[in-house]
Each structure stands twice: as C-alpha cells, then as structure tokens.
Amino acid sequence: MARTGDGNLMKGAAAAYKNYDNVGGMYAGIDKATKAFSDSVMDTAKKKKAKKDAIDKDWNKSKDSVLESYGSFKTTVDYDFTFDELKGLKEELYAAQNENPPNQKVISSVNARMNGMKNGINDDVELRKMLATMDHSKAMSDNEKEILTAFQNENYTLSRNENGEKEYNINGNKYTKAQVEDLHIPQNPEYSNNFTKVFTKNAKSKKWSRNTVEAEVKNVMPKKNDIKGLRAFAADDIMNQSFADMLDYDTTFESEVNNYLNEDPRFDTNKNTPGIDETEFAMMKQAVLDPYHDIWEGDVNRWAEVTHPLLAERLTNAIKNEHEIVNPSATKDMTATQRLNYYKGIKTSKNS
C-alpha cells in the first residue's frame, strides 16, 4: 500500500499502474456495443444516488426541525395518545378512590404509571434533541435514516406492547424507544484520533515490531463486540480515508485475502477455481463493509469476526508503509527477503 503526501493511508498504488495513453484506440471498436449497457448502469446509479440524496435531505431537515422546537412535539400524535391513556387512568383512579375503603394498591399503581408516562415524555424530548444534535456516522444505512426521520417528524402511530413499553409504528414495523435509539450510529472521532497517535509514534520509531504495532492498533480500535463502534470506525474517515477507500486502493489486499479467506466457504464459493476469484473478491469487499450483507445471515457478530482483524491488518500495514519511507536506513543492509520478513515480524538469520 502506498501513502501519498496529502495524508491518505492507502491511495496511490493502484493509480500508479494505470496507463491511459491509448484509451481512445483501446475502446474505439466497442463503444457502440457497450453504450446501451453503460447508459443502463449509469441510469441505475443516478437513480440510487437521487434516492440517497433525498433520504439525506429529509434526515437533515427533520433534525433542523427538532432543533427549532428544542425537541418538543410539533404534532398531536403523542399528545392524543397520552390524553387517551390519562383518561383511562383517571377512570381507574376514580373507581379505586370510591371503594370502601379506598383501594390503595390500585391508587399507588395508577400514580406510578402516571409518573412513568411523564418521565417517558421527558425522555422522548431528550432523545429527539440527542438525535438532532449528535453527528451521525457514514455507517448509518438509508433504512436507518428513514426510520429515524419518521421518528423525528412524528410520522408514526403509537401503541404499547405486552411489557407496557410504548411502541412507534413506522412503515409497518414497531420499535420501542430503545430500538429507535439503537438505530442511530454516532461519529466517534476519539478512535481515529487515538489511531493517529499510534500511527505517528510508530512511523517515526527507529525500530519496527509488527506484533507491538498491531497490538497497539487493536487496542485503540473498537472491540469486536462493539458493533456500532466498529461500524462507525470502518465507515468514517481515518486520517482522511475510509476502510472502503483502503480496499479500493490497496493492490496487495486481494492476495492477502486469499491467504486469509480462501478456505472459507462463505467467500470461496467456486470449488472449481482455487482461491477467491474476481467475482468472489468483489462480493467479499461488499460484505466486509456491510454487517447486514446476506452472507452473514443476519448475525452481525460474524461480520465483526472477519472485519475486525482485516481492518487491524490494513491499519498496521499503513504504519509499516510510512515507517519504510521515514526510516529507510532501518533495512538498508538487509536482503529483499530479510526486509520482507522484518516488516512481517519474522526473524531471519543474517545469512538468509
């Protein structure tokens, strides 16, 4: 992986091997044959982008609207639901008070539920403010944004589940308040900032220890069981580049993936071709960026088990690349094999 002067971690290597001098001659004979297909692909891409732009616009508009009201409700949906519940509680309380003697157990229960409703409304307002003020990660999907936009715009109906929790009925699905909040993935720049410190320290270090560097990288990354944190860390920029960019610009990644995943039937699906072919590799890149890809069968922990070590390796290699540039004298007396083993963390004899 190459590192360019603008601070990007992996860019440059792929571009270095592209030569566009003869593009006109190379493609002159197939322009007409591919135009219809290209137009179709471009049209699909434009439609997808237009939809995504519309979703982002609605999401940002809903956040602005909530901030204007400082989290307060702008429709009567919640008021009407609360009024109907209070009406029922009032009747229950009245009946309990008129028993002889008054039914203190029911009276206490009604009071507790009324306090719970009041606290619930306050929590709703705080959640709405939080969603409107916190920066969200690029990891958030369009579906997650659409649900949260509907929540912020109060485009839902309300009910309670068997546990008494209020549920928001959005687009045919029901979500508790905790589930709504869980859809939001905030940015966490602390992870990226801590990695930058690890990068700077180890790139400048006179000596190189792959085991030490990789351990430090893993130590500042979100843990495997922190799915939201790992999603944000993989999707948002780390020193001006995202994990997706790293995969696109890293020319060594495909061969290394073959070493790591070529025995995994989820990725190496074509048994007639040894290793991971181009189609399988393209699918794999999509899967490691998307915890809800079909390959994980709905289990985001499977995604984390694969993505976490791959991301740690990418970031370790980024530091290795910079170390080679900053400290060329560290390996000047080594053979090519010794230099390779040195950065892989493999000890070799002086004569190898």
Q: Helical H runs in the chain?
A: 13-16, 23-27, 31-68, 77-97, 104-133, 142-152, 177-183, 189-204, 210-220, 227-235, 243-249, 253-261, 278-289, 300-326, 336-344
Burial class (CB in 10 A: 0-12, 13-18, 19+), 84: exposed
User: Taking the domains of the chain in order of start, what are their residue ranges?
Assistant: 69-182, 188-344
Residues in the chain: 352
What pLDDT is recorded for position 182? 93
What pLDDT is recorded for position 26? 35
Specify the DSSP class assigned to residue 155: -
Given a cut of 50, the residues of the chain with pLDDT beneath it are 1-8, 10-35, 37, 67, 70-71
Please write the tens of the pLDDT for every residue from 120-161: 888 888 898 888 888 889 998 889 999 999 999 999 999 999
- Give yes or no for a contact between 312 and 319, defined as CB atoms under 8 angstroms apart: no
Tell me the C-alpha distance between 293 and 307, whole Å.
12
106: which strand partners? none
Evaluate if pTM is beyond 0.85: no
